[in-house]
Structure 1
């Protein structure tokens, strides 16, 4: 197992070492955590294009000591004006790939600009400088990107503008080979020079809209020009005296709060970590929270979501009482994507940023729009075509979002920043990390390194399996199967459980960082 990285003043964690280094570079130049986080985010959009990109969405949780409370920014895009159920009358569902799956405006650039305008210290162009450099000059192909490009080569080859970038010479660039994205560099320069208008107005927006129109897509220039994210108040829950902050809907963050409220009714410290009881309780709490999440989660501007009831102590007690200690409950599953990147930054002044971004499925829609270099997300494909469903497709609507960065407070100050890639697995991994750090006293790195699980849908597969990394004992796996869990053993450090990262701030003010051994990440602090 890796040792945690400890900094006396700063910490940056992300799923790619170049992104972490870019954040550290901004801090060394005198930037703050917000500058560093934007640098990390923009570099991830270049060096982890199978997981995230300028054509995707993001959620941001931010804290400044002088404010004394967390603030959040919802940088997720809405569907276009033409996105109506009737537009897919000849299809059983919204396609998950291709131009017709790209029906929501990317929110990424808007998020960078909004966070920087509110909190940034360094010039915006300087903060985006590392990302532009890696796009223009290239970087070493990561093993993770290579494996995903190889796996999805047929899909990538289906769009010539995508294949030209991601399958140079007809094949995926191998690990260590230089991977260059000059068109993306040109688009990033537009954003660096003109701010959000460099993406949502003018030639970039025009070219994306024209390309989609020529290939059956629905987004227009007007949809891009109208796009704006929102500053929102985080929703909160409690666990063992800690305050847990999540993004409100359209994020699934409330599902993690519900599950934590359920677990707060059990004395986990009396339960052996890694035992049948430990995993059974976590999985059953997740199932119960997912039941309500699936029934309610959508854009709250279109459909009322009863968060007061869902997050109440009374409801948590009711759900906790329904858990059978020796038997798994039945639950339905739905398909969901999982390509995501989580990162966090804490600086010497105590500023803290926990953020997450995604293209939805790996490589999103699979469509690079013209010569922009922008790989568009397919997040809108999760809308339902059932007009009675809360998450039904409508114009100018945000869809159900799996993204959910977390920030945990103790005595009014950040104690933990955490999150993970992994769609359906995100609240599950957050439960594992938080219980390990809070109930069992693990540092972030050990909490991440310990074997993990994921129940239900992930990577687009509809299933109710309970996937267990094979480092979980055979005795525990057999006990879970005997209780009715549909157990499947997976690899020791399987990517299917996601890529998690965390920062703890201890009672001495030290910043303790952990990154996932399943990815190419790094924790950098001093």
Structure 2
């Protein structure tokens, strides 16, 4: 039960349908689509399209997308991998010849072929109900007529002024007065509106062929990129089989590699070796969660890659023996100092959307351009912000995730779904780059092990291990000083987080009462609402 004297928000509750997003415009759009006769898939795509306009630092149509879908609220969960591949001409040798040890951010080399629009159009064709033009209409209207800047959007935008100013076309669109728009100011994106209208009328061909594709390819090649029209025309995502684990009687579903969803399951498997005798936010419990994450992330960075290009040991990663071995390494007296070599990516930007409709179709939907404003490069005629997902590749020869032609990188964005007794229990997701796998496990554990309501679990102070071999941990300022002191005594190096850590949305189906409850990230601008 919520403590109503604390400055937070109540869990949203409704009877018919619900949407939870990180932006008010997106949540409102999803509800309007549902009330107009659309289903959960229509609403999720419409909400995401709106966020591609009104939250441009976090997501865009020039990014990637992953989705989990539970039709009619059952336990047969479908997964779609909408992540893009590298250009066919891009090789490791290209980087070696230039003396590069990592993929540069504001460079065409970091731009994989965007997979989001392919995912939207395929999922809408297979599972949507309303005409696609009607689904994209709200986003087109916001882009054309304008939208008001919200506080978290402004904060993130402001921090990327230098990046945006380095690209003429990005600056023209996103720094209209030579600076980031301020809270309450209106902003428009007419070029993006025209592109969205073309996609609404022509479907995926409106993005991957014709003038939009030509604009992106011409621009990338002018900067030294190796992208071709054929790379765009042949881009295609795929339905994949979810990976799952059992956690205290709940089945947790994730998209398989090349995403890191399997690592969320590994963390849960490690946590299953520890009971809830420790208070939820005690140093002991946080110690366990930090170490479980460090160990699981070491495994991730060693093995997760595009399974069509590298061998990924899925069965071994999900085995009870592997989780037991890692759990046995955790010592509550001191932080681990010996871990496998791994490289952790930095904080990234993403939007996550959860929608459940009146038929209990549940959609867990995530869309990303990786860093805030991606590469900071914008195609000049179509207004598409190009993501920098290629930075997730390794440039180490022999590494499973080494960059190669037509290859998908390790992906941080992961939607989640929980089923129990043959029915959907929760549609959930966590934003925040590499935090997402930890965030999934943290959220599910707090709800299942400690009986917290979803909003309470989301609002808890957060920590993230960031130190590679070293036990270095970023902590939000809300982590109590005495907890920081105790973790420090055990050998962790606790440093203040520069930004709020992650974000989450979740909707839970109450079968007994026939209602829905939802929670939305208080660190963002959005909300969960239903009717």
SS of residue in 2 equivalent to 1:169: coil
SS of residue in 2 equivalent to 1:475: helix
When normalised by structure 2's length, the TM-score is: 0.95
Match of 1:174 in 2: 182
Contact in 1 for aligned 2:306/2:409 (Cα 8 Å): yes
SS of residue in 1 equivalent to 2:65: strand
Match of 2:18 in 1: 11
Residue 67 of structure 1 and its aligned partner are, at CA, apart by: 6.4
Match of 1:263 in 2: 271
Cα shift readout 1:271-297 (whole Å, capped 9, x = no counterpart): 111101110111111111111111101
CA gap 1:363/1:463 in 2 versus in 1, 3 angstroms: farther
Residue 91 of structure 1 and its aligned partner are, at CA, apart by: 3.4
Cα shift readout 1:301-338 (whole Å, capped 9, x = no counterpart): 01111111110112211211121122111345433341
Structure 1 residue ranges (4+ consecutive) displaced by more than 6 angstroms after TM superposition = none
Match of 1:375 in 2: 385
Contact in 2 for aligned 1:79/1:394 (Cα 8 Å): yes
Match of 1:36 in 2: 43
Match of 1:448 in 2: 458
Match of 1:350 in 2: 360
CA gap 1:335/1:464 in 2 versus in 1, 3 angstroms: farther
Residue 471 of structure 1 and its aligned partner are, at CA, apart by: 2.6
Match of 1:57 in 2: 64
Q: 2:141 aligns with which of 124, 133, 144?
A: 133
* Further displaced range: 426-435 or 90-99: 90-99
* 1:161 equivalent in alignment to 2:161: no
Alignment of 1:237-276 (within 5 A): 237-268=245-276, 270-276=277-283
Match of 2:376 in 1: 366
Contact in 2 for aligned 1:83/1:103 (Cα 8 Å): no
Equivalent-residue separation in structure 1 for 2:357 and 2:202 (angstroms): 27
Equivalent-residue separation in structure 1 for 2:492 and 2:427 (angstroms): 31
Contact in 1 for aligned 2:103/2:390 (Cα 8 Å): no
Match of 1:213 in 2: 221
When normalised by structure 1's length, the TM-score is: 0.96
* 1:517 equivalent in alignment to 2:522: yes
Q: 1:91 aligns with which of 83, 88, 99?
A: 99
Q: 1:104 aligns with which of 109, 112, 137?
A: 112
Equivalent-residue separation in structure 2 for 1:476 and 1:468 (angstroms): 10
CA gap 1:377/1:120 in 2 versus in 1, 3 angstroms: same
Match of 1:411 in 2: 421
SS of residue in 1 equivalent to 2:192: helix
Equivalent-residue separation in structure 1 for 2:75 and 2:23 (angstroms): 30
Residue 448 of structure 1 and its aligned partner are, at CA, apart by: 0.7
Q: 2:53 aligns with which of 20, 24, 46?
A: 46
Alignment of 1:304-315 (within 5 A): 304-315=311-322
Equivalent-residue separation in structure 1 for 2:193 and 2:420 (angstroms): 41
Contact in 2 for aligned 1:102/1:217 (Cα 8 Å): no
Equivalent-residue separation in structure 2 for 1:524 and 1:383 (angstroms): 38
Contact in 2 for aligned 1:94/1:101 (Cα 8 Å): no
Q: 1:500 aligns with which of 474, 499, 504?
A: 504
- Give 5+ residue unaligned stretches, structure 1: none
Match of 2:5 in 1: none
